[in-house]
Amino acid sequence: MSVARFWRKQINRYNLVGTHCKTCDAYYYPPRNVCPKCRRDGEIESHKFSGPGEIVTYTVIHTAAEGFEHQAPYVLGIVQLDEGPRFTSQIVCKPEDARIGMKVKPVFRKLGESGDNGMIYYGTKYVPA
């Protein structure tokens, strides 16, 4: 991810800010400019999600991508927020403890870094609630 894009998306990533369509009452994360259900007729507003949710599905990563080898094995899951949106997040727990339907809550953690002396990226991960 480029540094400019990282800073543009900082508010959404650090605060779980998405959007809410006041017309159809749908919630979206990441944020949308237009409601896919209502199209032009939808009235979109910013919405800060409370954060808690549950694991819809997950997988255990044993062979991690470059730069994440030290974290393997780790759990990567689809989290459905209590307000409805779903997204992919790392679940910080032992792989054998993860289960579908497990309640989770957000935590602020290091996501990665750019090179040995580069920028450190932080964001939201999930832990069992």
Q: Evaluate whether residue 122 is within a structural domain.
A: yes
Give the domain range for residue 55: 51-128
Q: Name the average pLDDT for the chain.
A: 88
Specify if 31 maps to a domain. no
Q: Check pLDDT > 60 for residue 96.
A: yes
Of residues 9 and 76, which shows the higher confidence score?
76
Domain presence at residue 80: yes
Question: Cα separation of 74 and 83, whole Å?
Answer: 26
- Name, in order, each residue with C-beta under 8 angstroms of 120's C-beta and a sequence gap of 6 or more: 110, 112, 113, 114
- Tell me whether residue 103 is in a domain: yes
How buried is residue 66: exposed, middle or buried, by Cβ count under 10 Å (0-12/13-18/19+)?
exposed
The number of distinct structural domains making up the chain is: 1
CA distances to 6, 9, 55, 70 from 18, in Å: 16, 11, 19, 31
Q: Examine the pLDDT at 117 and tell me if it is beyond 80.
A: no
Does residue 102 lie in a domain region?
Answer: yes
Q: For residue 103, how many C-alpha atoms fall within 13 Å in the half-sphere facing its CB?
A: 3
In a domain, 94, yes or no: yes
Let me know if residue 118 belongs to a domain: yes
Identify residue 105 by its one-letter amino acid code. K
Confidence tier at 123 by pLDDT (50, 70, 90): confident
CATH number at 66 reads 2.40.50
Query: Among residues of the chain, what percentage have pLDDT more than 90?
Result: 62
Q: What was the pLDDT predicted at 52? A: 97
Of the pLDDT bands very low, low, confident and very high (cuts 50, 70, 90), residue 5 is low
Would you state the structure tokens that stand for residue 9, as one six-digit string?
């998306």
Answer yes or no: is 71 within a domain.
yes
pLDDT tens per residue, range 51-82: 999 999 999 999 998 878 888 999 999 999 99
